[in-house]
Amino acid sequence: MPSISSAMIKLINRIIPSKYLRRYELFIYSAGIEFLAVEYLIISLLLGIIAGTTVSFFNSLYGIATFAVVFLGMAILYPYWRITKRISEMERMLPDAFFYLASSLRAGISFSEALEELTTSKFGPLTEEFQRVVAEIKKGRPTIDALNAFAIRNEKSAVLYRSIKILIEALDRGAPMSDVLISVGNDVREILKIKQERKASTGMQTMFFIISSGFIGPIILGVVVKVMENISGSAVGVNLPVESIKLLIMLFIIAQAIVSGVGIGVIREGKFSAGLKYSALLASMGLLIFKGATLINLSF
């Protein structure tokens, strides 16, 4: 087994350029996954092979699709979901954490002591990040460098990245930190309020995409396939390539789900990448609805 894993590590290192592996390693590191990039890719690949092989006993085509879905889901979607969830929680708690820091500074303690005091409070994943910052400072790393590492780990969030960068600049220039913290905290709270209002105002458009791509479209296409199965055969004298048509329709449902998910991401959050989670949800939902519609018993 060790020889197999080492061979797979060497193979991945040869196939994927080192710069992309470093980027992917930062990606899973931001998701809180404690594996090297190559190790996590191997785990994702093995899980995909196991799931695909199991399904291929029933249908080889579905086995290939299952391998692709499981591998991509583990390698990309799962870390992305963890990052999104973690960032959302940290953004929500950031203003309160900054106000807490400001009150500690106004009590007369230093910034480093205020950070250490913050690590004993309950701010969810944000507390864990500040615990990492304090641990690095205790090991001798400068405070600015530790905060900069915090910003880099969470650069996918513009709110977190810019807020920490403002603190670093204020700390470097010797600005009154308590005033800066309160100002940035208020700005973050306003930004989050605007984001929430945007999501609320685009609810109808989102529901349209979900219903059309995840439910109505797949169920209509499933009924069409079922009708084609009923009229195709020697008794009617019409032979249609039903399986090939079914495959094309499934690919169309996936493509439509991807486009609709990206559209939802742009409408709700203003980012194409934010639509990945919606695309995965719509693709899964659409394929399940389509498969269920093809099982409907139609009588003529």
Cα 28 to Cα 41: distance, rounded to the nearest angstrom = 10
Domain check: are 103 and 192 in the same one? Answer: yes
The CATH number of residue 130's host domain is 1.20.81
pTM for the model: 0.66
What one-letter code names the amino acid at 174? G
Domain check: are 250 and 268 in the same one? Answer: yes
Domain check: are 206 and 222 in the same one? Answer: yes
Burial class (CB in 10 A: 0-12, 13-18, 19+), 147: buried
Handedness of CA 17, 20, 26, 28 (dihedral sign): negative
Q: What is the pLDDT along the chain (300 residues), one digit of tens a residue?
A: 455 566 777 777 777 777 888 888 878 877 778 778 888 888 888 888 888 888 888 777 777 878 888 888 888 888 888 888 888 888 888 999 899 888 988 888 888 888 888 888 888 888 888 888 888 888 888 888 888 988 888 887 888 889 999 989 988 888 888 888 999 999 989 888 888 787 777 778 888 888 888 888 888 888 888 888 777 665 556 677 777 888 888 888 888 888 888 888 888 777 777 777 788 788 888 888 888 888 777 554
Residue 44: inside a domain = no
* DSSP-based three-state secondary structure for 233: strand
Burial class (CB in 10 A: 0-12, 13-18, 19+), 252: middle
- Domain that residue 226 falls in: 202-294
Number of domains within the chain: 2
| DSSP 8-state assignment for residue 212 | I
Three-state SS letters, 130-185: HHHHHHHHHCCCCHHHHHHHHHHHCCCCHHHHHHHHHHHHHHHHCCCHHHHHHHHH
Domain end (from 146, 175, 197): 197
- Cα 45 to Cα 36, 51, 132, 220, distances in angstroms: 14, 10, 31, 35
